[in-house]
Structure 1
Amino acid sequence: METQNVSDMIEQYLKNILQEHQHIEIRRAEIAQQFDVVPSQINYVIKTRFTIQNGYLVESKRGGGGYIRIAKVRLLEDNQVLDLLIAAIGTTVSQHDAIAVVQSLFEDKLISPREASLILSTIDKDTLRIHDTQTENAMRARILIGILNRLRFKS
């Protein structure tokens, strides 16, 4: 039997709740206690698995009545979300993060499987074949931002 790591279990737990609700508000300490982990483990999962690149907006409020709100967003329903995604990409983007963006576009049915495959082929490190990681990541960001800007006008 294959075992999941705790981060995967926490991610799946939160995603299961998000399937039934538009957004969720959690208390970091409560989730940590439920999974018998330290609260920083919850931070790690949220920071790495619930990013704008993956199609999530995260808002947090610290303090006694603090919470973390996670919302699944459809990337092109609101140009502001698209602007946030472009800002998150910035001037450079790793192949890992770029794949997450394409996956979100595909999951939100904004691109077809064929379009996703073509985009992934275009941004792949073997296709770009630039032997300078910084330049490669900059080129990948420009390609992705160009695609995202073109999707603004998708009918």
Structure 2
Amino acid sequence: MSHQSMSDLIEQYLKSILNETEEEIIEIRRSEMADLFSCVPSQINYVINTRFTLAQGYTVESKRGGGGYIRIQRVELNSHDEVLSYLRKSIGDQLTYKDGVAVLQQLYNYDIISKREAELLVSIISYEAIGKQNPSEDNVRAAIIRALLDRLRYEEKR
């Protein structure tokens, strides 16, 4: 039997709501979600900050305070060039392994790279290849993925 974490359950719930809406956008209240899942509001923040990122194909807008909300929108891009540009803009100076894998997953989902290419690239950005103890690990990973995206954008324009 599979034991899902609270974060997994919250993520699945939010994604199921997103799948049901035609606009591909939802608006939630942090406190209401916390009450629904009997957890602290910071758990909701954690899920949103780690599982609904730009690299994973989502934009998040939040407003704090009494009338505060969190708005999650799935980003649907129409061309390879839009996907590559969007992903390139989403990568800063650092990129965690999880976010790197999410970028590669998006490239695969949009048929920009093959499954084999994605698997090879995952091994290149892995902890084993870059070094978990390397203090600039996330910087190296970001540079690798940025170079990949730039190259793919160059090929797309030819």
Class of the TM-score when normalised by the shorter of the 2 chains: 0.7 to 0.9
**CA, structure 1 residues 137+44, in 2 after alignment: closer, same or farther (shift >3 Å)?**
closer
35-44 or 9-18: bigger deviation: 35-44
Aligned residue number for residue 144 of structure 1: 145
The 8 Å contact of residues 125 and 141 in structure 2, kept in 1 or not, is answered as yes
**Could you tell me which amino acid in structure 1 is paired with residue 148 of structure 2?**
I
Residue 59, structure 1, aligned to residue 61, structure 2: yes
Q: TM-score, normalised by structure 2?
A: 0.79
Aligned residue number for residue 40 of structure 1: 42
The 8 Å contact of residues 92 and 141 in structure 1, kept in 2 or not, is answered as yes
Q: TM-score, normalised by structure 1?
A: 0.81
Question: CA offsets, 1:80-128, max 9 Å, x none?
Answer: 8756644543223232321122123223433221221222132223334
Alignment of 1:81-120 (within 5 A): 85-120=87-122
**Could you tell me which amino acid in structure 2 is paired with residue 48 of structure 1?**
T
66-75 or 124-133: bigger deviation: 124-133
Question: CA offsets, 1:65-94, max 9 Å, x none?
Answer: 221111111467597875664454322323
Structure 1, gaps ≥5 residues long: none
48-57 or 103-112: bigger deviation: 103-112
Tell me how far apart the structure 2 counterparts of residues 63 and 129 of structure 1 sit (CA, whole Å). Answer: 41
CA drift of 1:131 comes to 6.2
Structure 2, gaps ≥5 residues long: none
Tell me how far apart the structure 1 counterparts of residues 110 and 36 of structure 2 sit (CA, whole Å). Answer: 30
- Percent of aligned pairs sharing the same letter: 50
The 8 Å contact of residues 55 and 75 in structure 1, kept in 2 or not, is answered as no
Tell me how far apart the structure 2 counterparts of residues 43 and 128 of structure 1 sit (CA, whole Å). Answer: 29
Alignment of 1:16-31 (within 5 A): 16-21=16-21, 22-31=24-33
- Figure out how many residues of one structure are paired with residues of the other and give that number: 154
The 8 Å contact of residues 55 and 103 in structure 2, kept in 1 or not, is answered as yes
CA drift of 1:147 comes to 1.4
Tell me how far apart the structure 2 counterparts of residues 60 and 80 of structure 1 sit (CA, whole Å). Answer: 25
Secondary structure, counterpart of 1:110 in structure 2: coil
The 8 Å contact of residues 80 and 110 in structure 2, kept in 1 or not, is answered as no
The 8 Å contact of residues 85 and 153 in structure 2, kept in 1 or not, is answered as no
Question: CA offsets, 1:5-62, max 9 Å, x none?
Answer: 2111000000111122211111111111111112221111111111112211100112
**CA, structure 1 residues 48+140, in 2 after alignment: closer, same or farther (shift >3 Å)?**
same
Tell me how far apart the structure 2 counterparts of residues 66 and 78 of structure 1 sit (CA, whole Å). Answer: 35
